[in-house]
Structure 1
Amino acid sequence: MVYARLAEEYMKESVLYDMRNWIPQVLTPAFGLDDSEKEKSELFVEDLCRLQNAHWVRDTEVFAHELLRVQLSPFLTLAGCTATRPKALVGLRYEDIEFQLFPPPVKGRPPIVIMKLNLKHVERSSGKRKRKVFAFYEAEDLACCGVTFMLALALADGAFKNKLTSLSDVYSLVVPSDTDRIRLQWDEDWAQGPVFRDVEHTANVIRVSKTKALDYSKHRHHLIRLGRTSGFEKKLEFYDLRRASGKRLKEHRQIMGHRGDVYERYYMPSLIDRDCQAIYLGPTRRDNLIRAVGRLICHERAPKALTDVQKFDISQHPKLLELIKERTQCVRDLKDHGFSTIKSAKRTKWFEKHKSIQADINTLKRQVKDDCLEKTIAEFHKTVHTADLDRRLRAFVQST
């Protein structure tokens, strides 16, 4: 592409042929390069469980901070369940995650906790990046439950806007009858903070940094060391998880009457509506829960129209007042030229000017009203669950 932009033409096939053969025919024999195919092994769920067991039961390694041990467990699980490149998870921020609580199938039971994972920087084979959204629920095997561990990390950091501090705070919540779910919001100080973080050294202690993400090389070091603790012969790499997961998650192309990759490029939604967790880990698939996350969010109390106060504020919009002033002056000009009404001035330049100004007024009013209503609705959905939870928590504290 660089050559094409500079030379304004594509390379000739003969040049491309020489380039493709330069490494195997010239560099390899000249420098004794190893051109044998690299072993492409896979880590399936049984291997992941072995790693988790070694991680929590048999590992005697002392981490610089024990939170690093906690972080490694969900990192491995998410890497396996999403079949994504590890670097897409390394820079994961709290704002890339959302916990949603759905009503339980049996009244009186705790809510169903779903974690929505938004991977924004997933590289495609073309080199372009595409956002992918996954949904996870609580796994049957606690050691491989990404939701529980990620929830624990958030609670330990105090990252929730409602100041939730324990699992009991979360599981005691009840989804109101006028909404289909509760969305837990992040504290503004934590929203852009990395989830998987490194440590920092102070004069007296080693503590977990609030802003420094644990880089890929350290994640890789922990995986290699854990693989050795588990007794694996091969030096493990994250692509072992990716290859195994990719094989299990592979789905047939969806047919919509399009040719090539039209569907994937233009119609495929961001949410992966497959139970990737069950496909990889093996329990009963719960596709209905995954699809619930992808449904459009609704709330019966969401604003449906502007309030009188908002309408008045719009009527005082500076640009709108300026246009109204121009329209008033235009009407005066019409009357000064002997026209008693606007309609009587039809087919004159003053009539056309008035018509143009009125069109601008109508357009501006519509735009401002639409923008105001959209912002009001967005703000409602952004804050309603936080406000409801605050009110309930205060009521709970007062009752106890």
Structure 2
Amino acid sequence: MKILKQAEKKTYQRDAALTHTVMDIIENVQTNGDKALIEYAAKFDHMDIDTVRISPEQVKAAYEQVDEETIETIRFAAGQIRFFAEKQRECLKDLNIPSRVEGVEIGHRMIPVDRCGCYVPAGRHPLPSSALMGIVTAKAAGVQEVCACSPAYAGYGTIHPAVLVAMDIAGADEIYCMGGAQAVAAFAYGTQSIKKVDLIVGPGNKFVTEAKRQVLGDVGIDSLAGPSEVLIVADHTADPEFLAIDLLAQAEHDPNSKAILVCTDRATIDETMKKMDRLITTLNTEDVCRQSWKDNGAIYLADSMQEAIDLANEIAPEHLEIETDNEREVAQQMRHYGSLFVGHYAPVAFGDFVSGPNHTLPTMGTARYSNGVWVGTFIKTPFHQFVNKQGCLNLAQPTMNFANIEGLPAHRDSVRLRVERMK
């Protein structure tokens, strides 16, 4: 393995100042509720508002600000995401079976959370796709009350109309114009006008991520996301122009985005870099791409495909592209990734918007033990046991033995008294 280019800096680091800033924001929202949200709207979003709640009239007005092609594109993407999420939901079944012990039934149920909050970032461009990924999936899971929020978008004084339309098409029950750590706090603890939620999902900046970390335990979260990533595994069959544009597509997300190429062929790497030099000048995101690639881009020349596969599994990227000969065989050996894109005609862009699987994915190597948002994110699986008299007798002795071993006499007697009652 030869490293031809390394990332020059870490893409995400916590610091004491960030922790304390977020802590203060959360405490303010807990103490002052809506008043704090309105003050933060003025401070951060330059909005003079009386409430963060978006009215039906504002949603209706958003449709009038969005062209029909955009609306149809959002509907198409919502249909794709809903189809996949509903098929996932069909895989999740309740279970109720007889135990090995007579008189005992055991099992579990699939129960959606009652209420969730879906956070939609407002970056350099509107992100209606992120609204769809959270809200549509929550609805497919069976969540009854799905709330959505997004910060005000520059020039509109409220949520970007394309994002509002996406929230509505996705089926949001409540929509709030709020963002940052204060939005996470409002969802986690409630305010005078916002009822607290059970679960918060969706990506955000470092303030949002830190806030999710701090409220975890008081409310559930999906994950703690870092900057977006792609790793492309390629060989001599890959098209250098495809490789170059896919690396740039990742780089243009954010200056902290990470794009990695792992290739077994030096000539393909060299040609890819030539294509990148040409293509980058055609993009209006050129400055972001250059900064991201300079700071965080990496290139590895692997001695074999197995070495490339091993490195990909070690890095465990958010997005993993396979552009090789025998791509399905290579894909089968991949074990750690957020979402997999197989074939020379499978760019990450499809997954970002319309192919169906969720684009809220694990980053920073957490794909080694976690997965992206899916219907299961919104569903808890509590267990049950039904025990009749015969089952009680059959379980009694080993249970009382365990209670004695662990020094829990009331546990022992909760069984003993029932057995004695049956005599």
Which TM-score band applies after superposition, normalised by the shorter structure? under 0.3
TM-score (norm. length: structure 2): 0.22
Normalised by the length of structure 1, the TM-score is 0.23
Structure with higher strand content: 2
- The structure with the larger Rg is 1
Higher relative contact order (CA 8 A, sep 6+): 2
